[in-house]
Amino acid sequence: MEENQNVKEQENQNYDASQIQVLEGLEAVRKRPGMYIGSTGERGLHHLVYEIVDNAIDETLAGYCDRIEVNILDGDVIEVVDNGRGIPVGIQEKMGIPAVSVVFTVLHAGGKFGGSGYKVSGGLHGVGASVVNALSEWLEVQVSDGEHVYMQRFRRGDSEHELKIIGDTAETGTRVIFKPDAEIFTDTTRYDYDILLTRLREQAFLNAGVRIILTDKREDGDKNEDGTNRQDILHFEGGIKSFCAYLLEGKRAEPIHEDVIYLKAEQKDNMAEIAFQYNSGFDSKILSFANNMHTVDGGTHESAFKNSLTRTINAYARKFKILKDNDPNFKSDDVQEGLAAVVSVKLTDAQFESQTKAKLGNTSMGSMVSSMVNEQLSLYLEDHPATAKVILDKVMAASTAREAAQKARELQRSKTSFTKVRMPDKLADCIWDNPELTELYIVEGDSAGGSAVKGRDRNYQAILPLWGKMLNVEKARIDKVYGNEKLSPVVMALGAGIGDDFDISKLRYGKVIIMADADVDGSHIRTLLLTFFFRYMPQLVEEGHVYIAQPPLFEVKKGKQKRYAFSDEERDQYIAELGGNADVQRYKGLGEMDAEQLWETTMDPQFRSMLRVRLDDFDRADRVFSDLMGDEVEPRREFIEQNAKFAENLDI
Ligand code: 1YM
């Protein structure tokens, strides 16, 4: 490391902040890992894999590689293998050591030598192999150049020996094996197959033709039903067109026109492509990417797409008299209803705004996307009148529904404005009104509701029993939600509004606790309420206000001693602790408990156990909800059976 620094110092006459970082070498990465990989939590751990895979993908895009293997090995060691040219092993002039050694020991070296077209300072991207090396307990790189296999091993970023030849080969390619450093990743070093799968699939979609093979080779890893290692082969010739179609898979919604519409433009070093399709659902799902990075907060490319889509559809509607002279234009919400779209741009000087670096700022990309959509989409619509008709019908229906919803909302507002705070009839409210202290229990069933009202601490615990037919919000528009007899008491009790009107500062209870039986019906209620919160009050979930009560499953009693068990294991443990021969009562439902028992086991903050529902990963949660509320029974049953796990582990 010392040597590298000296060489660098001679080379750079003028220092700016970024170059000073280079001088600090890999020590800086170990000192402040978050700056280089975002976090040292689960996300950062997985990010290491993406950095190495990115280099292999670049090699594929350069046309030298058609296969990338990613293996999770025992001990959560990662192995990435490609069949490209192999990282060059020749001496790199400035540093006087093999290029491959530079790539793994000098910060930002990849970009310097890689010179690969679009790959540029994309936020977390491109910090590369040296960062992974710095944050690994050990890392080994093997390069095959068609003659020899070269190898070098590192420990926490420092090389253990120089690059050496360990064998002969007729093949070419690069293999990187590393073990993330538990000193850095203190939360967890366990890899989650599904997290890797989601990201690698996304990369395979964004880089049409790339073939990525992910395999879980851990003894204690994910297995198929027949006990073999879990494996996915990710290869999509259709690129983002396939991605767009995939967004609808497993959803309730069906495409309403056959072809995914695909637009593409290239200008000098810049490229933009968009794939979109309308479906029978009401949600819109627009994903945008810049240089293969998911721009979660959108940016110029995404807003240009939305604006020019609205403009083009309005222009078409005017031209063909679908909109009359006096009609107002369609709103962008109308145009986006049921829209699934993927926007991907690649550019050489990507600039990112916002803290998270997830928002593209280049205005030139905005104009490129706008003119592409304006020109190509109007042509497309005129060439495909049947498709144009179903899209315009859809937009028209959305526009009509939006107006109806607007009226329903105004009606609700005017109702509430007379009485100021109108509360649902069945709400047993609490006395205090400080949301930092108050809790709302949403309880299924009148008898459990009754016990809860009697058993609660009425100072800060409010009870809302639910009755009536539950609405599946995945299948309904917002105007139906307003009128629903089961949901509108929830909205009223929470007092913070709904949808675009939701205002968390008006929330009347800091904890919103869903209390339902541990059986199938209870799970159904939980799922529907969670879906409702997720779709119409996502902030409520994001900010951690939603909880799931955990009633016990058993009462274990012997003589005067009584304990409540929340699982089979706990039950057996208590029986053993009480010396066997205990009376075991299984609770069939909340309704079986009297007020005192309900308080003791499920509502008393000193003893109760609750799951806090989290929403770390919006996209995953979105897909889970679509799966659950879709037509297929199997995912729903799985959810119902593993509800607790769902809230804890699936991060929603
Ligand atoms: C398992 C990870 O890193 N593959 C890989 C990396 C490189 C090359 C090929 C490569 C690039 C170039 C020329 C070039 C890299 N080389 C460099 C550098 N797989 C993996 N495969 N020859 C080979 O871009 O010109 C950085 S990455 F800088 F040494 F050229």
- Kindly report, residue by residue over 48-62, the tens digit of the pLDDT: 999 999 999 989 988
* Dist CA 262 CA 274 (whole Å): 6
Instruction: Give the mean pLDDT of 446-465.
Output: 91
Sign of CA dihedral 315, 318, 323, 328: positive
d(CA 179, CA 419): 63
Is the pLDDT assigned to residue 472 strictly greater than 90?
no
Alpha helices (H) along 321-377:
332-336, 363-372
Q: What percent of the chain has pLDDT over 90?
A: 58
pLDDT-based confidence at 627, cuts 50/70/90? low
| Residue 382 falls in the annotated catalytic set | no
pLDDT at 342: 98
Q: Is 128 in the pocket of ligand 1 (CB under 6 A)?
A: no
Distance 86 CA to ligand 1 centre (A): 6
Contacts of 575 (CB under 8 A, 6+ apart): 556, 582, 584
CB-count exposure of residue 509 (10 Å: 0-12, 13-18, 19+): buried
Angstrom distance (rounded) from CA 24 to CA 107: 9
pLDDT tens profile 479-506: 677 777 788 889 999 999 888 889 999 9
* Rounded CA separation 563/579 (Å): 13
Highest mean pLDDT among 422-426, 587-591, 622-626: 422-426
- The count of other CB atoms within 10 Å of the CB of residue 11 is 11
Sheet strands side by side (includes 511-515): 461-466, 439-444, 511-515, 546-549, 610-612
The verdict on the CB of residue 111 being under 6 Å from ligand 1 is no
The pLDDT > 70 percentage for the chain reads 83
CA atoms within 13 A on the CB side of 451: 22
Catalytic residue list contains 325: no
Nearest Cα to Cα of residue 232 among 246, 253, 211, 247: 211
Distance 138 CA to ligand 1 centre (A): 20
Asked whether the beta carbons of 70 and 88 are under 8 A apart, the reply is no
Residue type, 503: D
| Distance, CA of 406 to CA of 393 (rounded, Å) | 20
pLDDT in tens, 159-176: 999 999 999 999 999 999
Q: Could you give phi then psi for residue 46, rounded to 5 degrees?
A: -75, -30
Cβ–ligand 1 distance for 113 under 6 Å, the answer yes
What does the alpha-carbon distance between residue 360 and residue 376 come to, in Å, rounded to a whole number? 23
Residues whose CB is less than 8 angstroms from the CB of residue 159 and which lie 6 or more positions away in sequence, other chains included: 101, 104, 105, 152, 153
Q: Which two tokens stand for residue 518?
A: 């541990």
Give the pLDDT of residue 417. Answer: 52
End-to-end CA distance of the chain: 43
117 lines ligand 1 (CB under 6 A): no
pLDDT in tens, 107-152: 864 333 333 334 433 333 334 899 999 999 999 999 999 999 999 9
Nearest ligand 1 atom to the CA of 129 is: 3
Dump pLDDT digits (tens) for 370-381. Answer: 999 999 999 999
**Residue 269 is a catalytic residue:** no
Angle at 434 between CA 430 and CA 436, to 5 degrees: 110
Report pLDDT for 640. Answer: 41
Dist CA 135 CA 231 (whole Å): 27
| pTM exceeds 0.85 for this model | no
Higher per-residue confidence, 114 vs 319 = 319
Of 399, 371, 401, the closest CA to residue 311 belongs to 371
Q: pLDDT value at position 478? A: 66
